[in-house]
Copies of this chain bind each other. A is one copy, B any other.
């Protein structure tokens, strides 16, 4: 009887462990293989800017896969004509994008990347028009009050085949003042980002 009891106990414990392990593996597989729709509906961890020991901003590894919110060609803040009109693409870090779409605010840690690309033309089948060609510059705008007291700071990573991995904040009078004066919302030129405005409006109407 004692032997039987021990056997039952061991068998029960073993099957419990096996069941738990099976369920664990199943749950893990379910979590990992969940369809994209289910994955995107959960709230992802907020991605924040990272700095090196000197306080320089690190260029995020995945910035070229961020969400495109704005695009332009030949935008200039002066009246002087330019011989080298460039395409500019504004990409937004996805978790900050989601936060803005849901709340209408740029949270602490919001990151934008600006891709500056030369303009190409006369490549078949295009007979007219211009397309964005080689990358000539990478810049970032970051809202991080823990890093600079005024919140937003602007960073240039170079370009022309040699994008640097880190950059120090630009002097306040080189970007910040114009953004503070002209931005449609919180230092962001939302007036040039109708895709972002539309996404936020669509989120509200749901």
Task: Pick from A42, A68, A70, A79 the residue with the most CB of B within 10 Å.
Answer: A68
CB distance from A49 to the nearest CB of B (A): 13
Majority secondary structure of chain A interface residues (helix, strand, loop or mixed): mixed
- Asked whether B47 lies within 8 Å of A36 as measured between CB atoms, the reply is yes
Query: Is A28 an interface residue when CB atoms closer than 8 A count as contact?
Result: yes
- Asked whether A131 lies within 8 Å of B195 as measured between CB atoms, the reply is no
Interface size class of A (residues with CB under 8 A): 35 or more
- Asked whether A124 lies within 8 Å of B182 as measured between CB atoms, the reply is yes
One complex includes copies of this chain to the number of 2
Query: Is A21 an interface residue when CB atoms closer than 8 A count as contact?
Result: yes
Of B42, B70, B130, the contact of A74 (CB 8 Å cutoff):
B130
Query: Is A16 an interface residue when CB atoms closer than 8 A count as contact?
Result: yes
The residues of B that contact A64 with a CB separation of less than 8 Å are 67, 195, 199
Q: Give the B-binding residues of A (Cβ under 8 A).
A: 1-2, 5-6, 9, 12-13, 16-17, 20-21, 23-24, 27-28, 31-33, 35-37, 40, 42, 44-45, 47, 61-62, 64-65, 67-68, 70-79, 81-82, 85, 87, 89, 91, 94-95, 97, 115, 117, 123-135, 178, 181-182, 189, 191-192, 194-195, 198-199
Of B45, B70, B131, the contact of A70 (CB 8 Å cutoff):
B131
